């Protein structure tokens, strides 16, 4: 088959490609606010909000890094999101109106916000490299919890232990030899 027979096919496909360029390619991670009036979303690596009824979008984050996966706090006043501004995917929180984000996690693994357990406890997934002597895959994902009012990521199973025992518990790092802290 000659190469010249493909040229008409390529020319016929050009209008379709041109039409596809008009569609927003970088619109991702839509999250509806708790009151149902606003949508937060990722566009070209930044977080935006827009009224559900339509209108002008407001840019919430702006930086060179990728910001994504917005999750609303239960009161709708803040948005947590992942960002690569410190290298790996860390979780940050900012006002739903914009402002300076505050970093919540500092692990070298990649964290992703999932949902809120209550008004101040965020559940998030994190991939990490386990120790050489563990029987897990090279990069495993585990669910953790963090109080958005302070930095204290703990494995999610510690939450159940704290609720059941109502007192002292050991987080993952504490089980590896550090002292237990009072809940």
Evaluate whether 41 touches 59 at the Cβ level (below 8 Å): no
Output the CA torsion sign for 159, 160, 161, 164: positive
State the pLDDT at residue 174: 37
pTM score, two decimals?
A: 0.68
> How far is the C-alpha of 167 from the C-alpha of 169, rounded, in Å?
7
Extract the tokens encoding 130. 């386990």
Cα 85-110-126 angle, rounded to 5 deg = 140
Extract the tokens encoding 136. 């897990």
State the pLDDT at residue 112: 92
Question: Radius of gyration over alpha carbons of the chain, in Å?
Answer: 22
Average pLDDT per consecutive 10 residues, the chain (183 residues; last block may be shorter)? 41 43 71 96 94 94 94 96 90 94 85 92 80 61 85 55 40 37 37
The upper half-sphere exposure of residue 164, i.e. CA atoms within 13 Å in the direction of its Cβ, equals 6
State the pLDDT at residue 153: 57
Place of tokens 């518990």: 169
């Amino acid at each position: 088959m000659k190469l010249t027979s493909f040229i008409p096919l390529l020319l016929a496909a050009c209008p379709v490609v041109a039409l596809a360029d008009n569609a927003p390619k970088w619109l991702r991670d839509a999250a509806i606010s708790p009151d149902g009036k606003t949508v937060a979303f990722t566009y070209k690596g930044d977080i935006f909000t827009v009224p559900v009824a339509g209108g002008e979008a407001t840019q919430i984050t702006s930086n060179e890094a990728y910001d994504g996966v917005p999750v609303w706090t239960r009161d709708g006043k803040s948005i947590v999101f992942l960002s690569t501004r410190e290298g790996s995917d860390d979780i940050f929180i900012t006002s739903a109106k914009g402002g300076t984000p505050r970093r919540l996690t500092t692990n070298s693994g990649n964290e992703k916000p999932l949902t809120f357990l209550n008004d101040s406890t965020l559940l998030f997934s994190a991939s990490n490299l386990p120790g050489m002597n563990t029987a897990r895959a090279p990069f495993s994902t585990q669910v953790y919890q963090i109080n958005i009012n302070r930095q204290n990521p703990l494995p999610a199973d510690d939450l159940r232990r704290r609720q059941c025992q109502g007192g002292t518990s050991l987080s993952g790092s504490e089980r590896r030899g550090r002292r237990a802290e009072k809940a």
